[in-house]
Structure 1
């Protein structure tokens, strides 16, 4: 059994802050845990407005708190995000995420992340990033 505490994980190497200052993510479950997916609690800072394109991963995102929107760039559709909203990037959707009020998100990635990933120039995570010790 794996048991982790969010507050303890936030005080460890499991907390990753984006170089661009848009988000921070506490990686609660990673590839080395052997579950076939990773689970993160991510904070999107108020005012964040950035493009992502997970070419190597599928992601589902559940909003715990805050307010914002996600826009899919292929069709220009905009979806509001508020507590209780789930959005799923099931087609490697190129998208823009905007936070009007700081958002706390529960995120699942498949395949699982290794731990130290941050977005590359195309807004994706690499498949073989550095692991957290």
Structure 2
């Protein structure tokens, strides 16, 4: 992984065979980041995606173990239990030009991953919302 900062923005490259969440957490800790927005493109493998069923308050999960084009990755950095937490969604494409996506639980880089990260000054934390069964973003004003 390599990254460079330009103002409040970062360009990040995560390399082949590196785990996306491990490297993003390492990046957030090293830079002391509070919160922000992330987007990217590249190619992934061993991707675990989820679809949230509100009526059951649980995720249906599926692992995609081939190599896939990462058509779009969008997400944010917040904190959960005092630690950096990346909430990511992705759209993947396969060799037949089919596209599918969902909430990303895990992924490894198949070729390269190129990301843009825009940091926010304020700390955004996640707290449990019993109505939806998920830790959602808690906005607080300082």
Q: TM-score range by the shorter chain?
A: 0.3 to 0.5
Larger Rg: 2
Q: TM-score, normalised by structure 2?
A: 0.40
Structure number with the higher strand fraction is 2
Q: TM-score, normalised by structure 1?
A: 0.43
